[in-house]
Amino acid sequence: MSYIAKPKITHPGMPKNKLGLTSSDYEGTVSTLCAGCGHDSVTAAIIQAVFELGVEPHMLAKMSGIGCSSKTPAYFVNQAHGFNSVHGRMPSVTTGANAANGDLMYIGVSGDGDSLSIGVGQFVHAIRRNINMCYVIENNGVYGLTKGQFSASADIGSKPKKGEPNNQEPIDPVSTALSLGATYIARSFSGDKEQLVPLLKGALMHRGFALVDIVSPCVTFNDHEGSTKSYAHTRQFYHHVIDIDYIPPAEEIKAAYAEGEAMPIEMHDGSTIVLRKVDKDYDLTSRASAFKYLREHFNAGEITTGLLYLDESRAEMHELMGNINTPLSQLPLEELNPGSAELKKLQNRYR
Q: How far apart are CA 180 and CA 177, in angstroms?
A: 5
Stretch that binds another protein, among 1-9, 178-186, 219-227, 257-265 (CB under 8 A): 1-9
**Using only C-alpha atoms, what is the Rg of the chain?**
21
Q: How far apart are CA 67 and CA 87, in angstroms?
A: 8
Torsional sign, CA 95, 100, 103, 105: negative
Q: Which of 67, 134, 128 is nearest to 94 (CA)?
A: 134
Q: In the complex, what is the shortest distance from the CB of residue 141 to another protein, in angstroms, rounded to a whole number?
A: 24
CA dist 66 → 79, 147, 170, 202, 219 (Å)? 21, 14, 21, 26, 19
The binding track of 114-143 with respect to another protein, each residue x by CB under 8 A or -, is: -------xx--x---x--------------
CA 143 to chain centre: 20
- Find the binder of another protein among 53, 74, 116, 185 (CB under 8 A): 74
Position 336 contacts another protein (CB under 8 A): yes
3-state secondary structure of 222: coil
- Find the binder of another protein among 37, 46, 93, 290 (CB under 8 A): 93
Position 82 contacts another protein (CB under 8 A): yes
3-state secondary structure of 167: coil
Q: How far apart are CA 234 and CA 340, in angstroms?
A: 65
Cβ count within 10 A of residue 327: 16
| Residue nearer to another protein on the CB measure, 313 or 340 | 340
Stretch that binds another protein, among 92-100, 142-150, 177-185, 213-221 (CB under 8 A): 92-100
Q: How far apart are CA 329 and CA 323, in angstroms?
A: 12
Q: What would the DSSP string read from start to end of 81-123? A: EEEE-STT-HHHHHHHHHHH-TTSEEEEEEEHIIIIITTHHHH
Q: In the complex, what is the shortest distance from the CB of residue 307 to another protein, in angstroms, rounded to a whole number?
A: 28
H or E stretch at 124: helix 120-129
Position 18 contacts another protein (CB under 8 A): no
The binding track of 288-307 with respect to another protein, each residue x by CB under 8 A or -, is: --------------------
Stretch that binds another protein, among 53-61, 156-164, 266-274, 281-289 (CB under 8 A): 53-61
- Find the binder of another protein among 69, 95, 115, 305 (CB under 8 A): 95
Strand partners, 245: 274
Which amino acid does the sequence have at 204? L
| Residue nearer to another protein on the CB measure, 13 or 96 | 96
The binding track of 181-200 with respect to another protein, each residue x by CB under 8 A or -, is: --------------------
Stretch that binds another protein, among 75-83, 153-161, 162-170, 219-227 (CB under 8 A): 75-83
Position 78 contacts another protein (CB under 8 A): yes
Stretch that binds another protein, among 236-244, 279-287, 297-305, 318-326 (CB under 8 A): 318-326
- Write out the residues near another protein by the rule CB under 8 A: 1, 3-5, 56-59, 61, 73-74, 78-86, 89, 91-101, 103-104, 121-122, 125, 129, 318, 321-325, 327-331, 333, 335-340, 342-344, 346-347, 350-351
